[in-house]
Structure 1
Amino acid sequence: MTVENLGSWLLKANGMTSGIVGVAGRRESVRRWCVRPGYRARLMAAGQPVMLWVSGDRRRVGPGIWAVGELTGPPAMMDGKLRVPLEWRWLDDDQRVHRDTVRADEGLAALEVLRQPQAANPSFVTVGQMAALRFYLPD
């Protein structure tokens, strides 16, 4: 994994245990997100693409990509936690890329969020995977 192979960062939220469903429903602005310290956080920089993956059980929360945007700076300590500044726009329900769609696409079958759903933020989407995702994302 290198910056040259970065298609997008993928940040995750648990739609069952966090308030992210309500935040998305109200279209609230999100300006920062917690990330785990490490080499990935050190690779994060302003202008890089970012997406939000919300996990769920299908009955109450449709898992998949719910927001797209970009980082506005590198991670920094805020409130005692490492957080990355960002801007993203919420996708309408019919624009979200559902987990089943991702799983069914051969170009996305190896997406890290599918292989290691419990891994810490940030997750990584390769250039090739991002090209496949663009087919499903709105312009």
Structure 2
Amino acid sequence: MSGTDRGRLITADGLGAWLIKGNADHVDLCGRFAREPHVDRWCVQPGYRLELTAAGQPVLFWGSGSRRRDVTYGIWGRGRLLGPARRQEDGRGWELPLDLTIAEPSTWIGRDELRAHDELAGLEVLRQPQAANPSFLTKRQSAALRDAFGW
């Protein structure tokens, strides 16, 4: 491991998929995605992970929250990055360019289902839900998600 890799949880070689998060308690994500399930960009936090982003990498959408009992919080959608992270047009933050679709709510994969799976229970988003955006899945976790849920 090089000196620049120390303390990094993910590397390009270990990446299975990016996971971007949105809090449905703060914004009406369910209403937004019911009207338009396609997502073409999403705000992310600066950090070394953005240096690893590239066109074609898989990405998942994580709907978070705790207030509404009628919403399945967890993995809501999937897609691909259209390019590396970039500055927002206003220059105030960063975003990922996406081709991502939010699935029908009946197919969302809930936190409890993920926690019940041996490999997926260790997802960063479950261990550290307040961690910066984007989160990630390792290659093993991505394979387990495909095997268990067809995602």
Give the TM-score taking structure 2 as reference length.
Answer: 0.86
Question: 1:72 and 2:72 equivalent?
Answer: no
Structure exhibiting the larger radius of gyration computed from Cα positions: 2
**Deviation at 1:27?**
2.9
Report the counterpart of residue 54 of structure 1 in structure 2: 63
Q: Distance in 2 between matches of 1:31 and 1:102?
A: 26
Does 2:44 match 1:32? no
Q: Distance in 2 between matches of 1:76 and 1:49?
A: 17
**Distance in 2 between the 1:28 and 1:111 partners?**
24
Shift of 1:53: 0.4
2-structure distance, mates of 1:31, 1:45: 15
CA contact (8 A) 2:37 2:101 kept: no
Distance in 1 between the 2:14 and 2:54 partners? 14
Q: Give 1:26 deviation, angstroms.
A: 1.5
Name the SS of the counterpart of 1:12 in structure 2.
Answer: strand
Give the structure 1 partner of residue 114 of structure 2. Answer: 102
| Displacement after TM superposition at 1:137 (Å) | 3.8
SS in 1 for 2:119: helix
**Structure 1 residues not aligned, in runs of 5+:** none
129-138 or 97-106, which deviates more: 129-138
2:146 is matched with 134
**TM-score, normalising length: structure 1:** 0.93
Q: How big is the shift at 1:138?
A: 4.2
The alignment-based identity, stated in percent, is 48
- Is 1:16 the counterpart of 2:28 in the alignment? no
Amino acid of the residue matched to residue 35 of structure 2? R
Structure 2 residue runs of 5 or longer lacking an equivalent are 1-9
How many residue pairs get aligned? The number is 139
> RMSD of the TM alignment (CA)?
1.4
Mean Cα displacement is larger for which, 83-92 or 20-29?
A: 20-29
- CA shift at 1:22, angstroms? 1.1
